[in-house]
Amino acid sequence: MKKPVKDASAPSDALLAEAHRLRHFVALAEEGHYGKAAERLGMDQPTLSRSIVRLEQAVGARLLVRSARAVALTPAGEIFEKEARALIAQAQLSSSVVRRVQDGEMGNLRIGFTPVAMFWVLPDVVRQLRVAYPDVRIVMQEAQSYQHVERLREGSIDVAFVNGDVLNKGEFETLLLERARVLAAVPSAWPVARSKRLRLIDLADLPFIIVPNETSPNTHQATLSACRAAGFVPTIVPGDNTEVLSRLGMVASGFGVMLTSEYTRALPVEGVVYITVTDLPDYLNWELVMAWDPRADTPAVRALAEICDSIAKSKVKRAAWRGRALAAG
């Protein structure tokens, strides 16, 4: 008959269950006296004695030699003391790491952004955040605004820099970073491209490339409302014109004109001319917004918001200064 196989994992499993007694053992090894160690640990001497007995049972070795006046380590106890100190230090480090991750001082920060948001000062914002939180791993994800809203809802990103028109009021924490003018983007080969300024009615006979209602209902409806207020119903170019570069490509190819944020001028698309429209309503202004789920409100996210808010206010001050300078000159 075969002898039963001994479970080699049992001692280590038992030690894990008694890991809280490691501090008791180390204190006793340092003090060399049950009474002093018990006083240091804030417990009575019999409880400390029982704790050490349980630890020795878990380890499967005698760790201490007891006398009337003092306690000495056995050879096994001397080795175990080093291991116990290492285990306590590792546990403290692990606890510290977990707390820092929980507090947002470590771990990943997933930032979603639209292509146009990059032409704000987002790269500078991220650089400042990396200096302030060097242990936070920043993961950048590019997509359209409506896609980032879905990702915020499902928790696959923590923060998003998006067009404000895709956000539902009160759903997320938000910070308005900047309002940008909306310009007309027209094919450079068309006669309208020679205009320095125009009114919206001047585009009435031209086909419009508009972001789909399904992806940006606010922008879609606002564009139609502005055209109706100007006295016409636009002819809409068919197609899934969600991506800004795709729409600009269609403008360059002569499919039609579009209304777009002034940030779009930073995208190098040959064959597109941008023209100021003098009578666009304020509700068509493009808004760049930082949005985040309140559940992701960590120190790193708050620091990101503070950096963005500071830059946004600075840009407003510079714009006001330029306006006063132009008026005075």
In the predicted structure, residue 177 carries a pLDDT above the cut 60? yes
In the predicted structure, residue 290 carries a pLDDT above the cut 90? yes
Decide which of 296 and 101 is more confident: 296
Which are the contacts of 175, defined by CB distance < 8 A and separation ≥ 6? Answer: 289, 290, 291, 305, 308, 309, 312
**Shared-domain flag, residues 291 and 277:** no
**Shared-domain flag, residues 89 and 162:** no
The last residue of one of the domains, among 86, 102, 118, is 102
**Shared-domain flag, residues 74 and 142:** no
Per-residue pLDDT at 3: 44
**Shared-domain flag, residues 168 and 115:** yes
**Shared-domain flag, residues 298 and 173:** yes
Q: How far is the C-alpha of 55 from the C-alpha of 27, rounded, in Å?
A: 14
Q: Is residue 1 part of a domain?
A: no
The last residue of one of the domains, among 102, 134, 165, is 102
Q: Average of pLDDT values for 81-105? A: 66
Range of lowest pLDDT (66-75, 221-230, 299-308)? 66-75
Q: How far is the C-alpha of 208 from the C-alpha of 224, rounded, in Å?
A: 10
Question: At 2, is the pLDDT very low, low, confident or very high (cuts 50, 70, 90)?
Answer: very low
- Three-class secondary structure of residue 41 per DSSP: helix
Contact 185, 251 (CB under 8 A): yes
Q: Is residue 3 part of a domain?
A: no
The last residue of one of the domains, among 70, 102, 134, is 102
Question: At 87, is the pLDDT very low, low, confident or very high (cuts 50, 70, 90)?
Answer: confident
**Shared-domain flag, residues 25 and 87:** yes
Q: Which of 248, 235, 237, 254 is nearest to 274 (CA)?
A: 248
Per-residue pLDDT at 276: 95
**Shared-domain flag, residues 194 and 279:** yes
In the predicted structure, residue 203 carries a pLDDT above the cut 80? yes
pLDDT in tens, 233-258: 999 999 877 788 889 999 999 999 99
Decide which of 185 and 327 is more confident: 185
**Shared-domain flag, residues 204 and 139:** no
Q: Is residue 91 part of a domain?
A: yes
Contact 184, 259 (CB under 8 A): yes
Strands, sheet with 182-187, edge to edge from the N-terminal-most edge strand: 197-198, 272-277, 182-187, 258-261
Q: Average of pLDDT values for 203-222? A: 89
- CATH code for position 52: 1.10.10.10
pLDDT in tens, 5-34: 444 344 455 555 566 788 888 888 888 888
Per-residue pLDDT at 184: 96
Q: Is residue 123 part of a domain?
A: yes
CA torsion, ordered 90, 94, 96, 99, to nearest 10 deg:
-170
Residue 227 lies in domain? 182-284
Q: Is residue 224 part of a domain?
A: yes
Which are the contacts of 14, defined by CB distance < 8 A and separation ≥ 6? Answer: 57, 58
In the predicted structure, residue 123 carries a pLDDT above the cut 90? no
Decide which of 75 and 315 is more confident: 75
**Shared-domain flag, residues 279 and 203:** yes
Question: At 100, is the pLDDT very low, low, confident or very high (cuts 50, 70, 90)?
Answer: low
CA torsion, ordered 46, 51, 56, 59, to nearest 10 deg:
180
Contact 124, 153 (CB under 8 A): no
**Shared-domain flag, residues 60 and 32:** yes
Decide which of 282 and 320 is more confident: 282
In the predicted structure, residue 320 carries a pLDDT above the cut 50? no
Name the domain count of the chain.
Answer: 3
**CA-to-CA separations, 30 to 76, 172, 184, 244, in angstroms, rounded:** 16, 54, 78, 69
**Shared-domain flag, residues 209 and 136:** no
pLDDT in tens, 128-162: 988 988 888 889 998 888 889 999 999 899 999 99
- CATH code for position 270: 3.40.190.10
**Shared-domain flag, residues 22 and 98:** yes
Question: At 198, is the pLDDT very low, low, confident or very high (cuts 50, 70, 90)?
Answer: very high
Q: Is residue 4 part of a domain?
A: no
Which are the contacts of 70, defined by CB distance < 8 A and separation ≥ 6? Answer: 32, 33
